[in-house]
A and B are shown apart, each in its own frame.
Chain A
Amino acid sequence: MSKIITPDSLSQLVINIKESENILFNYTKNNFNPDGLDVISTIYDPTFPSIDENIVDKIVEIYRREGNECEVGILLYESLENMTPRKAGNPGYWTQMNHHSFYKYIAIRWPRLWELESAELNSSKYILDHWVQVSSSQSDLMRYPISGLWWSVHLSIDETRSDKYELTRVLFMNDTLRTRQLGTARFARHKPAIHAVLEHIQDLVEQGISLEKVANLITPYVNMLGGIRPLSYFDKEWFKHKLNDYHF
Chain B
Amino acid sequence: MKNNYEFPYRTYEFVSDAPCEVNITESEQSLHFEVFLNETELLQIDKTEIVLEMESSSSMHRSIRKLHFTNDQYVCCSIDLELVGTIVEYSVFIVATEDGDIELNGKSEYHEKGDCLGILSSDKHLCDGDVFSSFIRVNSHGLSNIEYDLSQNDFITIKLPREVYQKYVHWQMDTENTPLIVASMAYPVIQYALFEILHNDGMNEKNWYTILETLLKRSNFLIKDLTIDLIPGAVDQMLDSCINKLIDATSSDLVEDDHTLLG
Binding site for B on A (CB under 8 A): 6-8, 41, 43, 84-89, 136-138, 141, 151, 154-155, 186-190, 227-234, 238
Binds A, one of B82-90, B191-199, B244-252: B82-90
The distance in angstroms between the C-alpha atoms of A141 and B58, with both chains bound, is 8
Is the beta-carbon distance between B115 and A232 smaller than 8 angstroms? no
Number of chain B interface residues as a range: 35 or more
B93 and chain A: residue at smallest CB distance: A230
Is the beta-carbon distance between B7 and A227 smaller than 8 angstroms? yes
Residues on the B chain within 8 Å of A230, using CB:
51, 53, 64, 91, 93, 95, 114, 116
**Is B132 close to A, CB under 8 A?**
yes
Binding site for A on B (CB under 8 A): 4-5, 7, 9, 51, 53, 55-64, 81-86, 91, 93, 95, 112, 114-116, 131-134, 207, 211, 214-215
A233 and chain B: residue at smallest CB distance: B114
With A136-B86, A230-B64 as contacts: A7 and B133 at CB distance below 8 Å: yes
- Give 10 nearest A-B pairs by CB, closest first: A89-B58, A136-B58, A189-B62, A6-B134, A85-B59, A84-B82, A232-B64, A89-B85, A229-B114, A190-B62
Contact of A137 among B57, B93, B116, B207 (CB under 8 A): B57
The minimal Cβ–Cβ distance linking B220 to chain A, given in whole angstroms, is 14
Is the beta-carbon distance between B53 and A86 smaller than 8 angstroms? no
Is the beta-carbon distance between A86 and B83 smaller than 8 angstroms? yes
Is the beta-carbon distance between B5 and A228 smaller than 8 angstroms? yes
A82 and chain B: residue at smallest CB distance: B82
Residues on the B chain within 8 Å of A234, using CB:
114
With A228-B5, A232-B62 as contacts: A85 and B83 at CB distance below 8 Å: yes
Is the beta-carbon distance between A86 and B114 smaller than 8 angstroms? no
Residues on the A chain within 8 Å of B112, using CB:
229
The distance in angstroms between the C-alpha atoms of A229 and B9, with both chains bound, is 8
Is the beta-carbon distance between A8 and B133 smaller than 8 angstroms? yes
Is the beta-carbon distance between B116 and A86 smaller than 8 angstroms? no
Can you name 23 A-B residue pairings with CB atoms under 8 Å? Answer: A7-B133, A7-B134, A84-B83, A85-B83, A88-B59, A89-B58, A89-B59, A136-B85, A138-B57, A189-B60, A189-B61, A190-B63, A227-B7, A228-B7, A228-B116, A229-B95, A229-B115, A229-B116, A230-B91, A230-B116, A232-B53, A234-B114, A238-B114
The distance in angstroms between the C-alpha atoms of A88 and B83, with both chains bound, is 10
The distance in angstroms between the C-alpha atoms of A87 and B60, with both chains bound, is 12
The distance in angstroms between the C-alpha atoms of A159 and B113, with both chains bound, is 28
The minimal Cβ–Cβ distance linking B50 to chain A, given in whole angstroms, is 12
The minimal Cβ–Cβ distance linking A95 to chain B, given in whole angstroms, is 13
The distance in angstroms between the C-alpha atoms of A237 and B53, with both chains bound, is 20
A225 and chain B: residue at smallest CB distance: B114
